[in-house]
Copies of this chain bind each other. A is one copy, B any other.
Amino acid sequence: MPPKRFLFGPGPTQVEPSVYQAMTQPLVGYLDPYFFEVAADVRRLLQSAFGTKNDLTLAISGTGSSGMETAVTNFVEPGEKLLVFSAGFFADRIAEMGRRHRADVIKIDKPWGETFSGAEARAAIEREKPAVVAFVHAETSTGALQDPKEIAAAAHSSGALVIADCVTSLGGAPIDVDENDIDIAYSCTQKGLSCPPGLSPFTVSPRAVEQLNARATPNEVWYFDLKLLRDYYDGRKYHHTAPISTFYALQEGLRSIEREGFHQRWKRHAEAHAQFVGGVERLGLSMHVAAGQRIPTLNTVRVPENVDDVKVRTRLLDDEGIEIAGGFGPLAGKIFRIGVMGPLATPDNVNFFIGALSGALS
């Protein structure tokens, strides 16, 4: 039996009992009409979560990182220039995947925790003239939320496609894929959507679909080939055996969000975030990211001087069963990463957490 944890880390986060129960529904075959009903319902609900009318909206049969691989391998051809705006670990990973797929990768770096201004984005894009621009909407390693709008506008003026990593934002904050004019966005199921990990929500704009159709070289990775995946989900032509039970969970998780209301959910998370920030500041702690640039679902709190972050995290886990995460890379030992998502984003749970943190620090 697994230990009972309060998952206040960056993910996986707490899952509603109805979502766990959905996985006990009996399997059907991968070409069963019932499965395609589930997949169609998941598509409709993901469109609401992403804020898009994109037809090509689906769930990739892998975890969030497989969505990143799908984005890079389908939309960055070997030799093409990929410009990555990086101020954290996950943006660096996009660059690493681009290099492995033999793209000409240009990485623009800022300190971990900062974001890029419209002017910075525009200058880099006009100078480099990339085929594809990638950025991380909500950088899990730092807690910073990047405004997509001006990056996308500059990229499109320059004829580039735009990839947005939304692994930590989907479900917990609006992404507005259509309004922000993002071409390719991907996420995971185990953070803002409060489901178990195992699928990667993915959406593609009509502009990017055109480029996909016109692609000169075959995709190197058969498993993540969006043309074959489209033939499967739209044309019912066998590709792979989708993880049916995980689809049941995702459908129920998304339906539960729909029952609450997507906008109501985002508002609840924003309120929990404000309460959290007020609470830690009353403890004398400070947030790592500047106000106005923070991810509402994933808070990064500076470790006070002379405090050992590992000791604090161990006390939280041992005494209260609370899981949080530390920083890594340049932020190792310097921040706590604390997720307040899904069922945990309520006034009572935030109070419970702030009390526990206060105790662990004392």
A residues adjacent to B (C-beta < 8 A): 1-5, 7, 9, 11-12, 14-15, 17, 20-21, 23-30, 32, 34, 61-66, 68-69, 73, 93, 96-97, 100-102, 188, 190, 196-198, 218-223, 238-246, 248-249, 323, 325, 328
A223 touches B65 (CB 8 A): yes
B27 touches A12 (CB 8 A): yes
A220 partner residues in chain B, CB cutoff 8 A: 100-102, 220-221
CA distance A29 to B323 in the complex (A): 8
A243 partner residues in chain B, CB cutoff 8 A: 63, 196-198, 243, 246
A-B contact pairs, 15 of them (CB 8 A): A12-B30, A21-B24, A28-B323, A62-B223, A64-B240, A65-B239, A66-B240, A69-B222, A100-B218, A102-B220, A190-B241, A197-B244, A197-B245, A198-B243, A198-B245
A69 partner residues in chain B, CB cutoff 8 A: 221-223
A97 partner residues in chain B, CB cutoff 8 A: 222
Nearest CB on B from A77, distance (A):
13
The answer to whether A246 and B244 touch (CB under 8 A), given A28-B3, A29-B323, is no
With beta carbons under 8 angstroms apart, the residue of B2, B27, B323 that contacts A25 is B2
A328 partner residues in chain B, CB cutoff 8 A: 238
Counting from the closest, the 3 A-B pairs by CB-CB distance are A198-B243, A196-B245, A20-B24
Nearest CB on B from A225, distance (A):
8
B5 touches A198 (CB 8 A): no
With beta carbons under 8 angstroms apart, the residue of B32, B73, B248 that contacts A323 is B32
B29 touches A222 (CB 8 A): no
A2 partner residues in chain B, CB cutoff 8 A: 25-28, 34, 248
Q: How many copies does the complex hold?
A: 2
CA distance A62 to B34 in the complex (A): 22
A64 partner residues in chain B, CB cutoff 8 A: 240-241
The residue in chain B whose Cβ has the minimal distance to the Cβ of A220 is: B100
With beta carbons under 8 angstroms apart, the residue of B1, B102, B222, B238 that contacts A100 is B222
A12 partner residues in chain B, CB cutoff 8 A: 27-30, 241, 244
A66 partner residues in chain B, CB cutoff 8 A: 61-62, 223, 240
B20 touches A5 (CB 8 A): no
Nearest CB on B from A211, distance (A):
19
CA distance A3 to B68 in the complex (A): 34
CA distance A222 to B224 in the complex (A): 12
A249 partner residues in chain B, CB cutoff 8 A: 245
The residue in chain B whose Cβ has the minimal distance to the Cβ of A324 is: B29
A244 partner residues in chain B, CB cutoff 8 A: 12, 196-197
CA distance A1 to B27 in the complex (A): 11
B9 touches A27 (CB 8 A): no
CA distance A100 to B222 in the complex (A): 8
B223 touches A93 (CB 8 A): no
A100 partner residues in chain B, CB cutoff 8 A: 218-222
